Amino acid sequence: MSHATTRTTALPAAPRGPWTDSLGRSSIRAIQVLVLLALALVVVRALAQVQLVIIPLLLALILAAAVGPLVIWLRKKGWPSAAATGFSFFLLLSAFTGLVTAIVIAVIGQAGELVRQAIEGFDQVYAYLQNGPLPIDDARIQQVRTTAVDFATSSTAGASAVTGISVIGNFLTGALLMAVILFFFLKDGEKIWAFILRAFKGPRLVKARLVGHDSLAVLGGYVRGTAIVALVDSVFIGLALIILDVPLALPLTAVVFVGAFIPLVGATLAGVLAALIALVANGPVTALIVIIIVFVVNQLEGNFLQPVVMGRTLSVHALVILIALTAGTILAGIIGAILSVPLTAVVWAAIKAWNEHDDDQISAGSIEQAEYETLLDETGHGVSTLPDGEIPQLPASGTTT
């Protein structure tokens, strides 16, 4: 009886080098991160050079996401596509134009007085602190004051805000471009999205369609929710300022409305501005009442109103929001601060949607369904034209051709 002898052959050891140990692998990953950061910086710098195109494009996308459900609802009710688009476009454009005009009229004529009284109020608070019992760093407070005054009166701040645009031609060009882009987004949004989806096949097409659906839902929900919150804030705080006979109540109400679109800091800064002006014009008691009213309104908004109207739309950590606000303000001033947060929320929603399913978890039927829906979108007869709750059905043969 013979016994088989099993021989094991040892594999040759992998060659070791300076990049194969733990430090080398960490260095490679660090280099990759630096390359990605450098690429992101180049892209951001390039986009910053064409703000006249990028900002109208982003504004049109945000407005289209906000009013898109109205267009879809009208189509489902039997309106022709052209009529639904035209009605929604002119309704939104009229509301947006009226809002911007009202803010400009309310603020532009009294912007200098707002800044002057705010500075005077700051000086009063500063004088009180100097003579108060608590030690303060005089140099640090003067630095903060100088920075705030420079921002409020600089050409950068004026160029960033609607009220201070120095080049009227650029503003009108951007507004016209935004209106044209908005019209095409409302009219041919599905076709444009179907054209972009041509770059995706198989499971990636299913994931890309999910990304588009979730991103649009987040963006539209954020804009509509923030607009409701801003309206409520400005109405209640504005009424309080009028009742307390605080001067410049109308421009302050406009500032509160705009500030509500800047999470974390916008409402606080608007409240501080209102309190400083109330301090100058009406004394410390009125200023304290304004602070209390702003605090109460902000608490009601944060604890009750926002969860109801926005749900989990802005499910991004406060630190990420703060970083996005800072970067947006540096790149594009007030407009950048307003746009940075919804764009960050959309990017996060897109990442989550893309990673929700692995490629091997997506069935062939889901791929066929996505291909068929994309084909319908290309013809302009996609989901938005179907009755509520109805899903596009594949042809009897089960093919998209």
Is residue 204 within 8 Å of residue 296, measured between CB atoms? no
Token duo for residue 139: 């140099």
pLDDT at 392: 60
- Angle at which helices 203-243 and 364-379 cross, to 10°: 60
Q: Give me the sign of the Cα torsion angle 257, 262, 266, 267.
A: positive
pTM (2 d.p.)? 0.69
**Which whole-number Å values give the CA distances from 275 to 30, 128, 232, 343, 355, in the listed order?**
48, 15, 19, 31, 46
Mean pLDDT for the stretch of residues 152-160:
46
Q: How confident is the model at residue 358 (pLDDT cuts 50, 70, 90)?
A: confident
Confidence of residue 379 (pLDDT cuts 50, 70, 90): confident
Reported confidence tier of residue 157, pLDDT bands at 50, 70, 90: very low
CB 205 within 8 A of CB 367: yes
- Which pLDDT score, from 0 to 100, does residue 160 have? 45
Asked whether the predicted pLDDT for residue 398 surpasses 50, the reply is: no
The domain locations on the chain are 50-369
pLDDT of 382 strictly over 50: yes
Taking the C-alpha atoms of 263, 326, 170 and 157 in order, what is their torsion angle to the nearest 10 degrees?
90
Instruction: Quote the percentage of the chain above a pLDDT of 90.
Output: 1
Residue 151 pLDDT > 70: no
pLDDT at 150 exceeding the cut of 70? no
Q: Give the pLDDT of residue 305.
A: 74
Query: Is 80 exceeded by the pLDDT of residue 260?
Result: yes
What number is the average pLDDT over the span 285-308?
83
Higher pLDDT, 281 or 183: 183
Q: From the DSSP assignment, how many helices (H) and strands (E) are in the chain? A: 14, 0
- Confidence band, pLDDT 50/70/90 cuts, at residue 328: confident
Cβ partners under 8 Å of residue 327, min gap 6:
336, 340
Asked if the model's pLDDT at residue 298 lies above 70, the reply is: yes
Flag the least confident range among 94-108, 158-172, 177-191: 158-172
Residue 156 has pLDDT above 50, yes or no: no
Closest CA to 324 of 256, 264, 267, 272: 264
Q: According to the model, what pLDDT value does residue 401 have?
A: 44
What's the burial of 165, exposed, middle or buried (CB within 10 Å: 0-12/13-18/19+)?
Answer: middle
The pLDDT tens digits for 223-259 are 888 888 888 888 898 899 889 888 888 888 888 888 8
Band of the pLDDT at 165, cuts 50, 70, 90?
very low
Mean pLDDT of 309-332: 74
278-307 mean pLDDT: 83
Residue that wins the pLDDT comparison between 352 and 152 = 352
Distances from the Cα of 67 to the Cαs of 73, 226, 383, in angstroms?
Answer: 10, 14, 16
Neighbours of 260 (CB within 10 A): 23
Residues 90-148: tens digit of each pLDDT: 888 888 888 878 777 777 667 677 777 777 777 777 677 666 665 566 666 666 666 66
**Residue 35: pLDDT band with limits 50, 70, 90:** very high
Measure CA 4 to chain center: 72
Q: What is the mean pLDDT of the chain?
A: 77
Say if residue 391's pLDDT is above 60. Answer: no
Q: Is the pLDDT of residue 10 over 60?
A: no
Between CA 283 and CA 379 the distance in angstroms is 65
Q: How would residue 394 be classed by pLDDT, with cut points 50, 70 and 90?
A: low
The band of 83, judged by pLDDT with boundaries at 50, 70 and 90, is confident
Instruction: Supply the DSSP symbol for 396.
Output: T
Output the six-digit token pair for 322.
């703060």
